[in-house]
């Protein structure tokens, strides 16, 4: 693995990976078959540390399948899958379980346990994977809830929370083991536009605050253009287009146009907002 010197002018689609260390996620020629059905047919992607990568594609494109392989819940048929320096294909089942603790996952529809209150939901990974005492666990949960603007909700049940709060509880749970990589499967699907926007903000804040590398699965180009450092468009089992939001818009390929049109979004405005946010992030205020 070569550590390349930083280049001041990352240019065009070839900038993928330039100027930084080894990528946090490296997928090469990934193939996944279920029986005779080829779902992923040679997927390549690289995601750098602390980036938000959005994988976008239509229903049935293989997005969830890809995510399950990235998090070690499923295995590739062939190809290379390296996450946080770990070659997942080489791991035995037990080692895979170990490695999985370093990855967090926010499932579609939050997947909170309805019979448990917020404290118990968020504490779940700590009780499963650590030997911490109850008091320490409660303290860590309280800290995380506070960071996510959920202080005082420990005793509430999922049914007593709004959709946006449930997402934040799910995120708190995914963050409990301080993962290096966080995967989100369609985190905004089923949410109203305002709550979706809040979840998008939360994904970016999580990147900025905890420095985690994020992979967000989505079918929504509007959200992708706003939150992504890098976008991968998945179609027919392959990456049909990839790059920064601006590169993707500039590339003007048919598949990207189709996604942009079907989202009915104002690309120019979203790209402008994205550029402004990126600038603000790189120039900390004094």
Ligand X SMILES: Nc1ncnc2c1ncn2[C@@H]1O[C@H](COP(=O)(O)OP(=O)(O)O)[C@@H](O)[C@H]1O
**Of 43, 45, 61, 99, which one interacts with ligand X (CB under 6 A)?**
61
Exposure b/e, 172-211, CB count within 10 A at least 16 = b: bbbbbbebbbbbbbbbbeebeeebbbbbbebbbebbeebe
C-beta closer to ligand X: residue 34 or 152: 34
Q: How far is the CB of 33 from ligand X (least distance, A)?
A: 9
**Of 26, 46, 63, 168, which one interacts with ligand X (CB under 6 A)?**
63
Strand partners for 30: 43
**Of 39, 112, 202, 260, which one interacts with ligand X (CB under 6 A)?**
39
C-beta closer to Mg ion: residue 103 or 117: 103
Q: Which stretch binds ligand X (CB under 6 A): 32-40, 130-138, 200-208, 253-261?
A: 32-40
E-assigned strand segments in the chain: 25-34, 37-47, 52-57, 78-83, 86-87, 103-106, 181-185, 213-218, 230-235, 238-243
Q: How far is the CB of 56 from ligand X (least distance, A)?
A: 10
Structure tokens belonging to residue 175: 């963050």
Q: Residue 57, interface with ligand X (CB under 6 A)?
A: yes
Site size toward ligand X, by CB under 6 A: 11
Q: Which stretch binds Mg ion (CB under 5 A): 20-28, 56-64, 146-154, 161-169?
A: 56-64
Structure tokens belonging to residue 88: 């997942």
Question: Residue 12 and residue 240: Cα distance in Å, rounded?
Answer: 16
Question: Residue 142 and residue 144: Cα distance in Å, rounded?
Answer: 6
Q: Which stretch binds ligand X (CB under 6 A): 17-25, 53-61, 139-147, 149-157?
A: 53-61
Q: Residue 64, interface with ligand X (CB under 6 A)?
A: yes
Instruction: Indicate the helix (H) or strand (E) that contains 146.
Output: helix 134-147
**Of 16, 43, 45, 64, which one interacts with Mg ion (CB under 5 A)?**
64
**Of 16, 24, 65, 267, which one interacts with ligand X (CB under 6 A)?**
65
C-beta closer to ligand X: residue 209 or 236: 236
Q: How far is the CB of 18 from ligand X (least distance, A)?
A: 29
Q: Residue 110, interface with Mg ion (CB under 5 A)?
A: no
**Contact, 239 vs 248, CB < 8 A?**
no
Question: Residue 31 and residue 171: Cα distance in Å, rounded?
Answer: 30
Residues at the site binding ligand X, with contacts judged by CB under 6 A:
34, 37, 39, 57, 59-65
């Amino acid at each position: 693995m070569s550590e390349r010197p930083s280049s001041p002018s990352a240019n065009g689609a070839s900038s993928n990976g330039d100027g930084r260390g080894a990528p946090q996620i490296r997928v090469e020629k990934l193939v996944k078959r279920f029986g005779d059905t080829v779902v992923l047919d040679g997927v390549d992607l690289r995601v750098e540390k602390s980036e938000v990568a959005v994988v976008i594609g239509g229903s049935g494109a293989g997005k969830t399948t890809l995510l399950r392989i990235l998090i070690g819940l499923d295995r590739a048929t062939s190809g290379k899958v390296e996450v946080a320096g770990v070659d997942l294909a080489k791991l035995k089942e037990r080692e895979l379980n170990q490695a999985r603790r370093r990855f967090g996952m926010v499932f579609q529809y939050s997947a909170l346990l309805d019979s448990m209150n917020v404290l118990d939901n968020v504490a779940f990974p700590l009780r499963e994977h650590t030997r911490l005492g109850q008091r320490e666990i409660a303290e860590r949960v309280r800290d995380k809830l506070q960071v996510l603007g959920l202080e005082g909700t420990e005793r509430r049940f999922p049914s007593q929370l709004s959709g946006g709060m449930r997402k934040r509880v799910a995120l708190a749970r995914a963050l409990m083991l301080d993962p290096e990589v966080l995967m989100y499967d369609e985190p905004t699907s089923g949410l109203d536009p305002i709550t979706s926007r809040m979840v998008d903000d939360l994904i970016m804040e999580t990147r900025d605050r905890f420095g985690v590398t994020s992979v967000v699965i989505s079918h929504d180009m509007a959200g992708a253009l706003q939150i992504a450092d890098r976008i991968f468009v998945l179609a027919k089992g392959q990456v049909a287009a990839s790059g920064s939001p601006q590169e993707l818009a500039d590339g003007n390929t048919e598949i990207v146009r189709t996604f942009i049109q079907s989202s009915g979004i104002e690309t120019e405005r979203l790209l402008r907002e994205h550029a402004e946010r990126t600038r603000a992030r790189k120039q900390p205020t004094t």
